[in-house]
Amino acid sequence: MTHTSIALAEELAGIVGERFVRTRPTELLTFAADGLPTHRAVPACVVFPGSASEVSAVLARLHARGTPFVARGAGTGLSGGALAEAPAVLVTLTRMGRILAVDAPNRRAVVEPGVVNATLAREAARVGLHYAPDPSSQSACTIGGNVAENAGGPHCLKYGVTTNHILALEVVRADGERVHLGSASGEPWGPDLAGLFVGSEGTFGVATAITVRLVPVPPTVRTILADFTALRAAGEAVSRIIAEGIVPAALEMMDRSAIGIVESSVYAAGYPTDAAAVLLVECDGREGAVAADIARAEAICREAGAGTVRAARTAAERERLWQGRKKAFGAMGRISADLLVQDATVPRSALPDVLERVAEIGRRHALRVTNVFHAGDGNLHPNLSFDAADPDELARVAVASREIMEVCVAAGGTITGEHGVGVDKKKYMDLVFGPDDLALMDAVRGAFDPSGLANPGKVIPDGAARPWGPWSPA
Amino acid sequence: MTAAFAGLDACVHCGFCLPACPTYEATLDESDSPRGRIVLMRALERGEAPADDDALSWHLDRCLGCRACESVCPSGVSYGPAIEEARARIVAVRPNPPAVTAGLWVLARPARQRLAWWASRLARATGIPAALARGAGDKAPLLLQMFAMLAATTPSRRRTGTPTHRSRGRERPDRHAPGGTEATAAPAPDTTAALFRGCVMDGLFGHVHDATIRALGVNGVRAVEVRRQVCCGALAAHGGRPDLARTLARENVLAFDAAAPGVPIVTNSAGCGAALKAYGEWLADDPLAERAHAFAARVRDVSEVLVERGLVRPGRLPLRVAYDAPCHLHHAQRVTTQPLDILAAIPGLELVPLEGADRCCGSAGLYSLVEPELSRDVLAPKLRAIAVSGADVVATGNPGCLMQIGAGALLAGMEVEVRHPVELLDLAYRQ
Ligand SMILES: Cc1cc2nc3c(=O)[nH]c(=O)nc-3n(C[C@H](O)[C@H](O)[C@H](O)COP(=O)(O)OP(=O)(O)OC[C@H]3O[C@@H](n4cnc5c(N)ncnc54)[C@H](O)[C@@H]3O)c2cc1C
Ligand code: SF4
Ligand code: SF4
């Protein structure tokens, strides 16, 4: 460790206490990756503030020294967003895990950023309410990370993604100043600054208190599992369900590879392993409407060629079906430890074609592709399995990934649905954004953080944004 | 033995194991999480971190070995063998603290243990350790904590009474006349099982062995005693001494094969059971490998044996009982329902839910003595959940857990009693 970093660690220890600063090189290794370990960066040190005022003091200190920092929640991100490269300091928020208030009559809660998504969901359920955004990683990921990535989840199809559930934020800016965005009680005046912060991937500052919207638990929930002998048929069923105006609570797809992986894990849910794909369709709301929607969805699945359609008979059975789906990505290690997950969105009408094109790309590059994704949102997650020790395969993965992105963009889609850009998707930004777009993004970021110390090097490709001016040069 | 590390290859870094890990729950530090420790072990394997690295051993030593991470891992990462291998490599370059070394030395030979257990029972019988520890609080000095653990092994309790009919002053009943002599409806035994006695179990929990023998007897299983058996070696394996663990394993294989060839081996200690069931892997490269595999395949937890046979109906026991699953039964052996089945079969016994019943209590072998502070932090939520449950009795089938939870309750001045599920079953048979 250099002298400056020793001095810095001591200063930070003065704020948060010695126990909550990590500097030993070996322990820093454990913070070198998030949920996408193909990217790695080792921070100068890790600091665990315990309160908003400690965050503020830490950032002010770093600002005074001109030291960059990166916020981190649970480190389940899938785009390398929470990686900090020395001299950057990692500000880990897991200790800030208190639920500050659950206001049942007004259907909202105030939480610290380190609260785990599933913990908030459980606490809300105690008062008959529900926190709707449910990323598959919800048992581990934090609300702070969800805000930063504008996380989605299976049930965001009907209820909307994280941004639709954030009412207000307390944010510590890169210079340590605490600001309040949005309003807990109704629409604030002026532009939606809280909305602007959601999805900023840690580049605008650190969220230290988050006011979320809670929704009532729906009176009726029905879930069916339909299996198909062709991936295309499943894709067509999705397009038709959406086209008919049915708004399922969730509509998810898993292909044969994903089914096999889940069925060999502790989360085996009884999915048919001989199917080419399954769809999980869930509807919720009032009894009559739900029954009608589920019946219609089932009929559409059958018309599209579904073999069997099975309904979850009990809450436990439904939970099992969902656990299998949600743990699928974590079970990918059963086929290979190295994998890359893509996160493109496409218009739902394009799903059948895009799925076929992706499969074709996989075949051409001799790569195993596993699909498990939010079909109702058109949010694809093709997983490419590979062996990082094989340079040839690694090269094929890079080419295939780009081709997949190009196919999605050409179909009218975009390069990330919910995992964010981080470092991993920066290379695809040019597929959807020109220098002007990037310049505007850079300017907005500069408005929140003129110092550029918050999560540097993420989201905007280096040197791609032209300097921002009121209009483009002709 | 890098094969042990190969079990980590499936890790995709998803983080699903974080919320299951009791040490991560206590510190919220990635380095104290399963995923973080896997990174550390990989660094050790690749030589990126030396085995004598302070930070490496600090975080790996704080692992409870509870294997809750394995139960939730979608990719099926095999964590347990890897952490034992890592410990062995660390201990090879930085020996255990003297207390652990001494403890393992004593446990290695039955003759060395005898005096220790005798003295402990004597001290326990005075009632002084219990009196000093009661209500002393969880910050009490280590000596009082140890007193509390000793007191937690006391056979007689207020709520559940002293069920055992034993020769006074001796922990062991007459080894040659086991079986359900007092049980009202004891059928003639139609099968036998060899009782694994263990070290701590035999030294301080003889009353649980007695209860086990009687309960098996009621259900038609005659317990066979195997002389020359030794400690299972689990504490040695967790303590980075696989050499010692293997020596003990070999002795046990020979002893059981000699005295009770082919007979099922029954244990009432979750920690021992997990170790005994792993003998095949421990001795994979040993001339005894084949016999070790066969031995491991014969091992059953007492709850498995009883439920497999279909329980003889017990008498009434009007108690509110919370079941706490020992990690080495629940996560390592994946025996999850049988102890609950046994408790549910007792008329009058009300099973109350215990939040976090499948989470470690922080005992973990010698852990509570080596890492007292973190052990206490891990125990704290357990004690809170027990208080909330309103249980009269906590049932758990492992000596470490009986002592850890029992001691915690005693230090906190809680009323609750902590007993082995088989003790309750035995009690119910004797109503
Ligand atoms: C198995 C698995 C399944 C997943 N499924 C989904 C899914 O269904 N939907 C989905 O959207 N995502 C999913 N993800 C991705 C990931 O879980 C989400 O992006 C999640 O929101 C990240 O939360 P985290 O706490 O782990 O954040 P981290 O990974 O620690 O950080 C993510 C980003 O947020 C920033 N950040 C963290 N906390 C704060 C804060 N308080 N203030 C400001 N910035 C902050 C970091 O700097 C970083 O840029 C999945 C991941 C895995 C491993
Ligand atoms: S749950 Fe399994 S695959 Fe995921 S990080 Fe933990 S050990 Fe690795
Ligand atoms: S064995 Fe237990 S303490 Fe150790 S890493 Fe796994 S869950 Fe955590």
pLDDT 10s digits, A17-62 = 999 999 999 999 999 999 999 999 999 999 999 999 999 999 999 9
Other CB atoms within 10 Å distance of the CB of residue B140: 17
Q: How confident is the model at residue B366, as a pLDDT?
A: 74
- Flag whether B37 is in a domain: yes
pLDDT 10s digits, A91-103 = 999 999 999 999 9
pLDDT 10s digits, B294-329 = 999 999 999 999 999 999 999 999 999 999 999 999
Contacts of A447 (CB under 8 A, 6+ apart): none
- Flag whether B250 is in a domain: yes
Same domain? A147 vs A241: no
Domain range for B157: 143-171+313-429
Residues in chain B: 431
Interhelix angle B421-429/B206-218, rounded to 10 degrees, is 50
Same domain? B293 vs B191: yes
Cα–Cα distance between B40 and A26 in angstroms, integer?
Answer: 7
Angle at B129 between CA B392 and CA B420, to 5 degrees: 35
Same domain? A76 vs A130: yes
Please give the structure tokens belonging to residue B81: 């063998």
Same domain? A111 vs A193: yes
- Flag whether A308 is in a domain: yes
Cα separations in angstroms, B376 against B1, B119, B199, B325, B408: 33, 26, 24, 18, 8
- Flag whether B324 is in a domain: yes
Please give the structure tokens belonging to residue A193: 């600054």
- Flag whether B45 is in a domain: yes
pLDDT 10s digits, A233-277 = 999 999 999 999 999 999 999 999 999 999 999 999 999 999 999
Cα–Cα distance between B376 and B384 in angstroms, integer?
Answer: 12
Cβ-defined contact of B75 to A333 (cutoff 8 Å) = yes
* Residues linked to residue A101 through DSSP beta bridges, in sequence order: A110
Cα–Cα distance between B348 and A195 in angstroms, integer?
Answer: 57
Q: Please compute the mean of the pLDDT values over residues B62-74 and round it to a whole number.
A: 93
Say how many CA atoms lie within 13 Å of A29 toward its Cβ. 19
- Flag whether A470 is in a domain: no
Please state whether the peptide bond connecting residue A87 to the residue before it is cis, i.e. omega within 30 degrees of 0. Answer: yes
Same domain? B295 vs B402: no
Buried-state track B294-322, b at ≥16 Cβ within 10 A, e below 16? bbbebbbbbbbbbbeeebbebeebebebb
Interhelix angle B270-277/B289-298, rounded to 10 degrees, is 140
- Flag whether B274 is in a domain: yes
Cα–Cα distance between A377 and A242 in angstroms, integer?
Answer: 9
Q: Is the pLDDT of residue B169 over 50?
A: no
Same domain? B159 vs B193: no
Mean pLDDT of chain A: 94
Instruction: DSSP for B145-193, please give it.
Output: HHHHHHHTT-S-BTTTB------TT-SS--TTS-S-SS-TTPPPP-EEE
Same domain? A108 vs A161: yes
Instruction: DSSP for B76-119, please give it.
Output: ---HHHHHHHHHHHHHHHSPPPHHHHHHHHHHH-HHHHHHHHHH
Q: Coil, strand or helix: which one is B196?
A: coil
Q: Please compute the mean of the pLDDT values over residues A134-150 and round it to a whole number.
A: 97
Same domain? B285 vs B333: no
Q: Which of B25, B29, B46 would you mutate first to test chain A, the one with the most A CBs within 10 A?
A: B29
Same domain? B188 vs B294: yes
3-state helix, strand, coil in chain B (%, to 5): 55, 5, 40
pLDDT 10s digits, B98-115 = 888 888 888 888 888 888
Q: Coil, strand or helix: which one is B59?
A: helix
Cα–Cα distance between B394 and B343 in angstroms, integer?
Answer: 11
Kindly report the pTM of this predicted structure. 0.91
Confidence of residue B173 (pLDDT cuts 50, 70, 90): very low
Same domain? A15 vs A117: yes
pLDDT 10s digits, A428-473 = 999 999 999 999 999 999 999 999 999 999 999 987 766 665 554 4
Same domain? B298 vs B190: yes
Same domain? A123 vs A23: yes
Cβ-defined contact of B73 to A266 (cutoff 8 Å) = yes
Same domain? B274 vs B375: no
Interhelix angle A315-326/A256-263, rounded to 10 degrees, is 110
- Flag whether B245 is in a domain: yes
Cα–Cα distance between A32 and A41 in angstroms, integer?
Answer: 5
Mean pLDDT of chain B: 89
Q: How confident is the model at residue A61, as a pLDDT?
A: 97
Look at chain A and report how many structural domains it folds into.
3
Q: Is the pLDDT of residue B266 over 90?
A: yes
Maximum average pLDDT range among A207-211, A339-343, B65-69: A207-211
Cβ(B20) – ligand 2 distance below 6 Å: no
Same domain? A176 vs A123: yes
Q: How confident is the model at residue A119, as a pLDDT?
A: 97
Please give the structure tokens belonging to residue A295: 């019946």
Same domain? A153 vs A280: no
Which value does ipTM take for this structure? 0.95
Q: How confident is the model at residue B87, as a pLDDT?
A: 93
Other CB atoms within 10 Å distance of the CB of residue B29: 23
Cα separations in angstroms, B320 against B155, B349, B354, B380, B417: 19, 6, 11, 21, 11
Please give the structure tokens belonging to residue A127: 């008062």
Cα–Cα distance between B20 and A333 in angstroms, integer?
Answer: 19
Of B93, B125, B155, the residue at which a domain comes to its end is B93
Confidence of residue B345 (pLDDT cuts 50, 70, 90): very high
Q: How confident is the model at residue B186, as a pLDDT?
A: 58
- Flag whether A103 is in a domain: yes
Same domain? B200 vs B259: yes
Q: How confident is the model at residue A469, as a pLDDT?
A: 58
Cβ-defined contact of A330 to B14 (cutoff 8 Å) = yes
- Flag whether A467 is in a domain: no
CATH code of B217's domain: 1.20.1050
DSSP E strand boundaries for A294-449: 309-311, 338-341, 368-373, 382-386
Kind and range of the H or E run holding B345: none
- Flag whether A430 is in a domain: no
Give distance in angstroms: CA of B30 to centre of ligand 1: 15
Same domain? A199 vs A238: no
Cα–Cα distance between A253 and A261 in angstroms, integer?
Answer: 14
Task: Supply the residue whose CA is at minimum distance from atom 46 of ligand 1.
Answer: A82
Contact (CB, 8 A) for B255 and B182: no
CATH code of A342's domain: 3.30.70.2740
- Flag whether B35 is in a domain: yes
Q: Is the pLDDT of residue A359 over 90?
A: yes
pLDDT 10s digits, B396-408 = 999 999 999 999 9
Look at chain B and report how many structural domains it folds into.
3
Contact (CB, 8 A) for A194 and A172: no
Q: How confident is the model at residue A190, as a pLDDT?
A: 82
- For chain B, the residues whose C-beta falls within 8 A of a C-beta of chain A are 9-16, 18-19, 28-31, 33, 35-37, 39-40, 43, 48-49, 53-56, 59, 71-77
CATH code of A270's domain: 3.30.70.2190
CATH code of A62's domain: 3.30.465.10
Same domain? A92 vs A188: yes
Cα–Cα distance between B81 and B69 in angstroms, integer?
Answer: 13
Same domain? B158 vs B205: no
* Residues linked to residue A225 through DSSP beta bridges, in sequence order: A280, A310
Q: Which of A26, A114, A331 sits opposite B56 (nearest CB)?
A: A26
Same domain? B186 vs B276: yes
- Flag whether A466 is in a domain: no
Cα–Cα distance between A114 and B201 in angstroms, integer?
Answer: 42
- Flag whether B115 is in a domain: no
Same domain? A393 vs A260: no
- Flag whether A191 is in a domain: yes
Q: How confident is the model at residue A185, as a pLDDT?
A: 79
Same domain? B218 vs B297: yes
Q: Please compute the mean of the pLDDT values over residues B260-288 and round it to a whole number.
A: 96
Same domain? B164 vs B186: no
Q: What are the residue ranges of helices labelled H in A224-286?
A: 231-243, 256-263
CATH code of B380's domain: 3.40.50
Domain range for A375: 336-422
- Flag whether A435 is in a domain: no
Residue with tokens 């030979």: B109
Cα–Cα distance between B396 and B378 in angstroms, integer?
Answer: 17
Q: Is the pLDDT of residue B64 over 50?
A: yes
- For chain A, the residues whose C-beta falls within 8 A of a C-beta of chain B are 22, 24-27, 29-37, 48, 74-76, 92, 94-95, 97, 114, 116, 118, 137, 139-141, 262, 264-267, 327-334, 337, 339
DSSP E strand boundaries for A306-413: 309-311, 338-341, 368-373, 382-386
Q: Which of chain B's residues have a Cβ under 8 Å away from the Cβ of A329?
A: 12, 14, 74
Same domain? A385 vs A268: no
